């Protein structure tokens, strides 16, 4: 059986240092669970921080790049997939993650959460404002959206969701 893939989505160049700290801790926690980390792959913001966190904890990291080459990939990405699709790759991030965690707020992240929920994937919101929670609870099917206060909480929710949605 394949190892679960957990997506961590968040701002790139627009990420705050708080977003990046959360992402690093989250990436580490995901790796310690033995899950594969999937991000948007670029060498900036949440993608980079989560990948570095997972790498530091000995995990395996996949990056789904918007670019057509791997030149801009984070050094902490093990498997760099060059899609050449620009933000069109956000749909692949959504479809390829067993569970998706949004870490911080941005337009790309918003599109990824929306696409994941539309595809029936469970999403955990970490470090997102109350407006995101309200909006997505209103738009999504019951049980697909949940919120976490810390990376540790997020990981507990992911574990439950993996059990419920994939390994039931």
Interface ranges with a copy of itself (CB under 8 A): 2-3, 5, 36, 60, 62, 64, 68-70, 73, 77-88, 90-92, 95-96, 105-108, 110-111, 114-115, 117-119, 131-132, 134-135, 138-140
| Token couple for 120 | 């029936």
Cβ atoms within 10 A of the Cβ of 89, count?
Answer: 22
**In the bound complex, what is the minimum distance in angstroms from residue 16's beta carbon to a copy of itself?**
14
Place of tokens 């921080």: 49
**In the bound complex, what is the minimum distance in angstroms from residue 124's beta carbon to a copy of itself?**
17
* Sign of the dihedral through C-alpha 148, 149, 151, 153: negative
CA 149, distance to chain mean position in Å, is 16
Which residue's CB is nearer to a copy of itself, number 28 or number 109? 109
Q: E strands of 22-89, at which residues?
A: 36-39, 61-65, 79-82
What crossing angle do the helices spanning 17-32 and 45-56 adopt, rounded to 10°?
Answer: 40
**In the bound complex, what is the minimum distance in angstroms from residue 152's beta carbon to a copy of itself?**
26
Which residue's CB is nearer to a copy of itself, number 65 or number 101? 65
Nearest to 164 by CA among 135, 122, 103, 111: 122
**In the bound complex, what is the minimum distance in angstroms from residue 111's beta carbon to a copy of itself?**
4
Phi, psi (deg, nearest 5) at residue 55: -60, -45
Which residue's CB is nearer to a copy of itself, number 69 or number 152? 69
**In the bound complex, what is the minimum distance in angstroms from residue 73's beta carbon to a copy of itself?**
8
| Token couple for 140 | 């999504």
């Amino acid at each position: 059986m394949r190892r679960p893939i957990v997506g961590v989505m968040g701002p790139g160049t627009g990420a705050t240092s708080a977003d990046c700290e959360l992402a690093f801790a989250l990436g580490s926690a995901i790796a310690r669970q033995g899950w594969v980390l999937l991000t948007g792959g670029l060498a900036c913001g949440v993608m980079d921080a989560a990948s570095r966190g997972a790498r530091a904890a000995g995990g395996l990291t996949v990056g789904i790049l918007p670019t057509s080459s791997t030149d801009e990939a984070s050094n902490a990405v093990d498997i760099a997939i060059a899609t050449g699709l620009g933000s069109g790759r956000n749909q692949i991030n959504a479809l390829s993650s067993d569970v998706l965690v949004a870490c911080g707020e941005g337009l790309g992240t918003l599109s990824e959460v929306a696409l994941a929920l539309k595809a029936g994937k469970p999403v955990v919101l970490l470090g997102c404002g109350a407006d995101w929670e309200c909006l997505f609870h209103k738009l999504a099917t019951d049980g697909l959206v949940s919120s976490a206060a810390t990376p540790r909480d997020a990981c507990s929710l992911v574990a439950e969701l993996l059990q419920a949605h994939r390994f039931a």
